[in-house]
Chain A
Amino acid sequence: MTVESDARPETRPAPKTRGFAGTRLSSGQSWERWILPGVFVLTVAFFTIARPGAFLTVDNGRSLLQQNAPLLIVLGGLCVVLAMREFDLSFASIAGASGALTVQSLVLFNATVWSAVFYGVVLGPLLGALNGVLVGYLRVPSFIGTLATGSIIQGIMQAIAYQTVFEGIPNEYMDLTLARFLGVPINLIVIGLVLLVIGAVLRYSVFGRQAAAIGDNPDAARIAGVNVRRAKLIGFTISGACAGVAGVLLTSTAGQYYPDPGAALLLAAYAAAFLSLSLGRGWRFNVGGALLGAVFLACVTTGVTMLNYPSWLSQFLQGLVLLTAVYLLTRRQVAK
Chain B
Amino acid sequence: MSGPWFEASGLHKQFGSMVAISEADLTLRAGEVRGVVGPNGAGKSTLMQLVAGSLTPEHGEMRIDGAPVAFRRPADAIAAGIALVPQEMRLAPNLSVADNVVLGNEPRRYGWVSARRSRQLAERALDRLGARLDPDAAVTSLSPVDRRLVMVARALARDARLVILDEPTAALAPQEAGAILDAVRAIAGTGVTFLYVSHRFDDIEQVADAVTGVRDARVVADLPKDKINRATLVSLVSPVDELSHAVPPRPAAAAVAGSTVLAVDDLTGGPLQGVSFRVASGEIVGIAGLSGSGADEVMAMVAGIDPRTGGVVSVREKILPSGDRVRAVRAGVAYVPGNRTLAVLPNHDVRSNVSISNLPAYGKWGVPAPQRETATVLELTAAVQLEGALSRPISSLSGGNQQKAVFARWMARDCAALLLHDPTAGVDVRARAEIHQRVRELAATGMAVLVVTTDLPELIELCDRVLVLDRGALVASLPGDGLTESAVLAAMVSAPLDAAPLPAPLEVAPSSAPLGSAPLNDQNGRRS
Contact = CB atoms under 8 A, between A and B. Distances in A.
Contact of A284 (B305, B344, B347, B367): B347
A206 B370 CA distance: 11
Nearest to A222: B325
A336 to B, nearest CB: 8
B342 A225 contact: no
A227 B326 CA distance: 6
Contact of A224 (B330, B346, B357): B357
Contact of B366 (A205, A219, A220, A222): A205
Interface string A219-232: 11111111100000
Interface stretch (A145-153, A181-189, A207-215, A319-327): A207-215
A282 B349 CA distance: 12
A229 B330 CA distance: 15
A227 B356 CA distance: 11
Interface in A1-52: 23-25, 27
Given A23-B391, A225-B326, A205 B345 contact: no
Interface in B333-382: 335, 337, 341-349, 352, 356-357, 359-360, 363, 366-368
Most chain A CB neighbours (cut-off 10 Å) among B337, B356, B363: B356
Contact of A223 (B330, B342, B349, B366): B342
A206 B368 CA distance: 6
A217 interface: yes
A210 B368 CA distance: 12
Contact of B345 (A23, A220, A281): A220
A277 B366 CA distance: 26
Contacts of A220: 341-345
B320 interface: no
A162 interface: no
B325 A206 contact: no
B356 A213 contact: yes
A260 interface: no
Contacts of B346: 216-217, 282
Nearest to A200: B367
Given A23-B391, A225-B326, A226-B356, A207 B366 contact: yes
Contact of B347 (A205, A206, A221, A283): A283
Contact of A217 (B344, B349, B359, B368): B344
B345 A216 contact: yes
A217 B367 contact: no
Interface string A151-178: 0000000000000000000000000000
Most chain A CB neighbours (cut-off 10 Å) among B335, B341, B344, B345: B345
Contacts, number: 73
A312 interface: no
B236 interface: no
B352 A213 contact: yes
B323 to A, nearest CB: 11
A209 B391 contact: no
B12 interface: no
B275 interface: no
Interface string B12-45: 0000000000000000000000000000000000
Nearest to B361: A206
B308 interface: no
A316 interface: no
A206 B391 CA distance: 18
Contact of B325 (A217, A223, A282, A283): A223
Contacts of A227: 326
Interface in B307-343: 325-326, 329-330, 335, 337, 341-343
Contacts of B366: 205-207
A24 B342 contact: no
Nearest to A281: B347
Contacts of B404: none
A205 B330 CA distance: 20
Interface string A268-307: 0000000000000111100000000000000000000000
Interface residues of B, number: 29
B471 interface: no
B486 to A, nearest CB: 34
A330 to B, nearest CB: 16
A222 B347 CA distance: 16
A109 interface: no
B409 interface: yes
Interface in A99-114: none
A284 B367 CA distance: 19
B303 interface: yes
Contacts of B337: 223
A303 to B, nearest CB: 35
A221 B329 CA distance: 12
A23 B337 CA distance: 29
A333 to B, nearest CB: 10
A25 B330 CA distance: 33
Contacts of B330: 225
Contact of A219 (B342, B347, B359): B342
A223 B345 contact: no
B339 to A, nearest CB: 9
Contacts of A213: 345, 348, 352, 356
Contact of A209 (B341, B368, B409): B368
Contact of B356 (A24, A207, A210, A283): A210
B367 A222 contact: no
Contacts of B356: 209-210, 213, 221, 224, 226
Contacts of B360: 206
A232 to B, nearest CB: 13
Interface in A225-254: 225-227
A172 B368 CA distance: 42
A20 B383 CA distance: 32
Contacts of A207: 366
Contacts of A23: 391
A205 B348 contact: no
Contacts of B326: 225-227
B352 A209 contact: yes
A220 B409 CA distance: 12
B63 to A, nearest CB: 36
A284 B357 CA distance: 19
A104 B300 CA distance: 52
A224 B356 CA distance: 7
Interface string A94-136: 0000000000000000000000000000000000000000000
Interface of A: 23-25, 27, 204-207, 209-210, 212-213, 216-217, 219-227, 281-284
Given A216-B345, A225-B330, 9 more contacts: A27-B393, A204-B368, A205-B366, A206-B363, A209-B352, A213-B352, A224-B356, A225-B329, A281-B347
3 tightest A-B CB contacts, nearest first = A225-B329, A282-B347, A224-B357
30 contacts: A24-B391, A27-B393, A206-B368, A210-B356, A210-B359, A212-B352, A213-B345, A213-B352, A216-B345, A216-B346, A216-B347, A217-B342, A217-B345, A219-B341, A219-B342, A220-B341, A220-B344, A221-B356, A222-B325, A223-B325, A223-B335, A223-B337, A224-B357, A225-B325, A226-B326, A281-B347, A282-B346, A282-B347, A283-B347, A284-B347
